[in-house]
Amino acid sequence: MLEFWLIAGAMLLLSLIVIVVALLRKPKSTHDEEQGSDIYKQHLHELETDIENGLLDEAEVETTKKELQLSILNQDKTIRKQMSDSTSHKKSNAPKITAIVLLMLLPLFVVELYQRLGRPELIEQAALLEEFNNAQTEEEKAVAIEKMLARMEQRVENNPDDVDGWLMLTNSYTSLERYPEALRCVENLYRIKSNDPSIMLRYADILSMVNNGKFIGKPTELIEQAMQLEPTSESGLWLSGLAAIQRGEIKTAIDYWERLVSQFEDGSESQQQIEHYINLARRQLVETDNAANTDPVADAKLQVNVSLSEELRGQTRSDDTIFIYATAVEGPPIPLAILRKQVSDLPLQVILDDSMSMMPSNRLSQHKQVKLIARISKSGHPKPEPGDLEGIINNVKTDLNEAVNLRIDNQIQ
């Protein structure tokens, strides 16, 4: 930022120097009077020479003298007029006054104009971004990020209706997976532009992240409102499919995603990703239909004893979050049942059952075997991250009548 103002100040100073010099420049002095006198002396000398040599008679001499005198008079009037004009110009103070006014007011005018029409906050943002790019360690990067966030927070505090500011904060906190803070920002966006489909969908998405990925309730309401306003929205179709999956409406989810996949270019990465989820949903639909034709495990409950290895205990804090959940051995990694605790609760004993399912159509009782996972999240977010501590047991039978011992003994790299 300092470099910008130094360069801008230098350019302004240079401009002022050019303008002031031009205003105060004196008119070029003329030497017409001296030059005229020399010319006339030369003519008189030539005239005397011609008389001595007998080249002119008396009549011609008189005529030539009169012409020279007349010429001298005319030239004298011209010189006097020029001297008068020059004198009046020298006496004029207008250029000096103009120069002084420019020196005093132009810098103030330029700065004020930039403050009103420019984007001065972008200068500081660029400086902070450069600081982040030059950071050598994770600690330095973290400090630079906090400075940028603090700068944006100050911006929206000064202007609570700044849509761009709230949007930048929402994106920043979401990228950092700081979902409670992202929720606060997107709520302000929704307050300002409650009829914007893209903001409705963003609001719904972040709400689900805060609620362990669940779209039931307000997130679904926001998605439905947005789809009424913009039925072909890519984000809307994607989130509508996820919400339908959680309601157990797999066919509805497939319909949404088939409408979405048709909007992408054939063979594109986005198209391939959506087709992958469509195939998973179709497989889940088949498994659900098969489960309906067989006897499910009635009222499946899993009792789990969760503990932490002594080797990893020093890497945790008492308020770190623990996610304890079960997933299908094969298929989508969506939890069949999930529970949230804290490290301070360890060691603990929990029961996972159908009431903890994220999707009514995909419960513990519909699977004969599951995978049990206990994960300590450093960030408090459900998504696994490097540095999290984890324990896993595969192929646990859902009709097991005894407790399962699940030990957290591994660090995610």
Looking up tokens 């513990």, which residue turns up? 364
Are 344 and 243 in the same domain? no
Q: Domain ends where: 292, 311, 342?
A: 292
Are 258 and 383 in the same domain? no
Are 180 and 307 in the same domain? no
Are 194 and 337 in the same domain? no
Q: What residues make up the domain containing 264? A: 120-292
**Number of structural domains, the chain?**
2
Q: For 279-313, what is each residue's pLDDT tens digit?
A: 888 887 777 666 555 544 456 788 899 999 888 88
- Average of per-residue pLDDT across 224-239: 93
- Nearest-CA neighbor of 238 among 199, 282, 265, 205? 205
Are 145 and 257 in the same domain? yes
Q: Where are the alpha helices (DSSP H) in 230-352?
A: 234-246, 250-261, 269-292, 310-313
- Average of per-residue pLDDT across 201-216: 89
Q: Is residue 163 part of a domain?
A: yes
pTM of the complete model:
0.50
- Nearest-CA neighbor of 155 among 179, 186, 120? 120
Q: What CATH number is given to the structural domain containing 315?
A: 2.60.40
Are 159 and 280 in the same domain? yes
Are 131 and 270 in the same domain? yes
Q: Which of 81-85, 167-171, 193-197 has the lowest mean pLDDT?
A: 81-85
Are 237 and 148 in the same domain? yes
Q: Is residue 124 part of a domain?
A: yes
122, 147, 162, 260 from 152: Cα distances, Å = 11, 9, 10, 34
- Beta-carbon contacts of 373 under 8 Å, excluding residues fewer than 6 positions away, are 323, 324, 325, 326, 327, 390, 391, 392
Q: What CATH number is given to the structural domain containing 284?
A: 1.25.40.10
- DSSP annotation of 26 reads P
Q: Is residue 281 part of a domain?
A: yes
Q: Is residue 393 part of a domain?
A: yes
Q: Is residue 337 part of a domain?
A: yes
Are 243 and 326 in the same domain? no
For 101-138, give the DSSP string. Answer: HHHHHHHHHHHHHHHHHS-HHHHHHHHHHHHHHT--SH
Q: For 137-155, what is each residue's pLDDT tens digit?
A: 777 667 777 878 888 888 8
- The rounded distance, in Å, linking the Cα atoms of 277 and 238 is 10
Q: What is the mean pLDDT of the chain?
A: 75
- The rounded distance, in Å, linking the Cα atoms of 360 and 75 is 112
Reported confidence tier of residue 1, pLDDT bands at 50, 70, 90: very low
Are 284 and 343 in the same domain? no
Q: Is residue 73 part of a domain?
A: no
3-class secondary-structure state, position 349: strand
| 354 has pLDDT over 60 | yes
Q: Domain ends where: 292, 315, 333?
A: 292
Looking up tokens 């930022």, which residue turns up? 1
Q: For 362-379, what is each residue's pLDDT tens digit?
A: 778 888 888 999 999 887
Q: Is residue 279 part of a domain?
A: yes
Q: Is residue 28 part of a domain?
A: no
Q: For 55-88, what is each residue's pLDDT tens digit?
A: 555 565 566 656 655 555 555 555 455 545 544 4
Name the strand (E) or helix (H) holding 377: strand 369-377
Reported confidence tier of residue 352, pLDDT bands at 50, 70, 90: confident
pLDDT of residue 95: 57
Q: Domain ends where: 248, 264, 292?
A: 292
Are 324 and 282 in the same domain? no
pLDDT of residue 139: 75
- Nearest-CA neighbor of 15 among 99, 122, 84, 88? 99
Is 389 in contact with 308 (CB distance < 8 Å)? yes
Are 202 and 347 in the same domain? no
